[in-house]
């Protein structure tokens, strides 16, 4: 099958390569001329035979909106646009409606697989009309992992990115649980082989997973994670998941807490925790000063039953 691919970065470039290996003809366009097959969107459209299929794999938000708007002006009736980025599902519904007025079809696809997808395949969650999904099935079959699973026609336009949004929200929660478990293991003197503990969970346990495999890989490369800073960005989909939960009155305490933990990671010295410390000091004398190594243990601190004793003022 012939398809255009717009955006040839880490994901788009590998997806284009996997499709080529699968026997498909891919015409790729990217702002980087070194990886692009054509010099413009117009040239890409001209190279494709009608009815055309164009897969958009650019950053979510304005880059995707602008690309889809340009394609809407360049494509013809019967052509189809696939948005494989991390767009918001409400944007999908808007794009689908606007393109339908021009006779152009639209399919949204949530894609998971990261840099490993080229060799292992990509999990695909698609939203759109049943007939359009069927037309694109050869593309989906090549991109997905081998076997029965790895692809779902999740529902109407927007359903693919909604499913991927929830997938990423779950990922937030799982990653946070592993991270908290690692921190607790590191905090005790009882467990002397923390990487080994995680490795022991990789087979035969209920928490075995690809994330756990990646965690042990990270610990092999940097056992104390000393080369990293404790800063975690969020892609936006975690926020959207929490907002959707509010919109549908569905409680998501784990995913919400994981999102807030990422926000907390960006604060070198949390303003909110400064206020907590100030209040604790006011009502209980539990002061923690900014001077390094200088603090007082409150009555609720371990080993500080009598804060007037000398050892209660140690570090």
Active site residues: 164, 171
Distances (CA, A) of 162 to 87, 122, 142, 239: 9, 17, 23, 12
- Residues belonging to the chain: 315
* Structure-block tokens of residue 43: 């040239």
Q: Is the peptide bond before 51 cis (omega within 30 degrees of 0)?
A: yes
Of 113, 187, 96, the residue nearest 150 (C-alpha): 113
d(CA 85, CA 98): 19
On whether the CB atoms of residues 79 and 2 are closer than 8 A, the answer is no
Q: Which two structure tokens, joined as six digits, stand for 188?
A: 């005790």
Q: Which helix (H) or strand (E) holds 56?
A: strand 53-56
Cα torsion 191, 195, 199, 201: sign:
positive
């Amino acid at each position: 099958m012939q398809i255009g691919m717009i955006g040839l970065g880490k994901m788009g470039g590998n997806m284009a390569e996997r499709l080529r290996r699968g026997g498909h003809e891919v015409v790729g366009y990217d702002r980087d001329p070194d990886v692009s097959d054509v010099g413009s969107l117009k040239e890409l459209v001209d190279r494709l035979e009608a009815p055309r299929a164009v897969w958009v794999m650019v950053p979510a938000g304005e880059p995707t909106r602008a690309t889809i708007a340009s394609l809407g002006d360049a494509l013809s009736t019967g052509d189809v646009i696939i948005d494989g980025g991390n767009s918001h599902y409400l944007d999908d519904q808007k794009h689908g409606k606007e393109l339908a007025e021009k006779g152009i079809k639209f399919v949204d696809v949530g894609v998971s697989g990261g840099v490993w997808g080229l060799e292992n395949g990509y999990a695909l969650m698609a939203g759109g009309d049943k007939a359009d999904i069927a037309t694109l099935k050869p593309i989906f079959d090549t991109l997905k992992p081998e076997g029965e699973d790895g692809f779902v026609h999740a529902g109407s336009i927007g359903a693919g990115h909604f499913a991927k949004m929830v997938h990423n929200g779950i990922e937030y929660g799982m990653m946070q649980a592993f991270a908290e478990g690692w921190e607790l293991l590191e905090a005790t003197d009882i467990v002397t082989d923390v990487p080994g503990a995680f490795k022991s969970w990789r087979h035969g346990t209920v928490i075995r997973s690809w994330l756990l495999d990646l965690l042990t890989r990270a610990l092999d490369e940097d056992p104390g994670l000393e080369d990293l800073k404790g800063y975690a960005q969020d892609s936006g989909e975690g926020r959207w998941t929490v907002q959707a939960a509010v919109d549908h009155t569905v409680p998501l305490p784990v995913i919400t807490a994981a999102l807030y933990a990422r926000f907390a990671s960006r604060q070198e010295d949390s303003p909110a925790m400064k206020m907590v410390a100030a209040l604790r000091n006011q009502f209980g004398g539990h002061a923690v000063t900014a001077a390094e190594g200088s603090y007082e243990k409150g009555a609720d601190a371990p080993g500080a039953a009598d804060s007037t004793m000398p050892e209660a003022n140690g570090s």
